[in-house]
Amino acid sequence: MSVHRVAYVVLRCADLERSRRFYEGLGLRLSPEQHGSGAKHYSCDVGGMVLELYPLSDKPTSGLRLGLIVSDLDRILESLRALGAVVGAISSEGSSPVTVIDPDGHRIALEQER
């Protein structure tokens, strides 16, 4: 018995629309969703895994670190800086992931696809 893949990740967001803009700045295409009478939220598929942005509740997710492989790191960093995102140190070798902080304090590691 083993885990085959991650099915979904849920991020709790203090300002859902601000977080939607941030993640769309990464190049994700988020769609609005609501399951039955549950909270309205956003969702997208990332390489077979579902990423969901939910309104903040009594279950924060700020300890989470998410790693993403991206096709155009420079363009994404430019987009995120324009949104006022905090961008961490970039390795001089260009091989280590770049860390950005989303509006709710989640650490997002971005790595250029090879």
CA distances from 30 to 12, 19, 91 (A): 15, 11, 30
Contact 97, 67 (CB under 8 A): yes
pLDDT in tens, 94-109: 556 788 888 888 888 8
* Local confidence band at 114 (pLDDT 50, 70, 90 cut-offs): confident
- Rounded CA-CA distance 110/114 in Å is 12
Joined tokens for residue 94: 């260009």
Q: Are strands 31-33 and 41-46 parallel, antiparallel or unpaired?
A: antiparallel
pLDDT in tens, 18-60: 999 999 999 999 999 998 999 999 999 999 999 999 998 877 7
What predicted TM-score, i.e. pTM, was given to this entire model?
0.80
Contact 114, 51 (CB under 8 A): no
Joined tokens for residue 111: 């790595």
pLDDT in tens, 63-73: 788 888 888 88
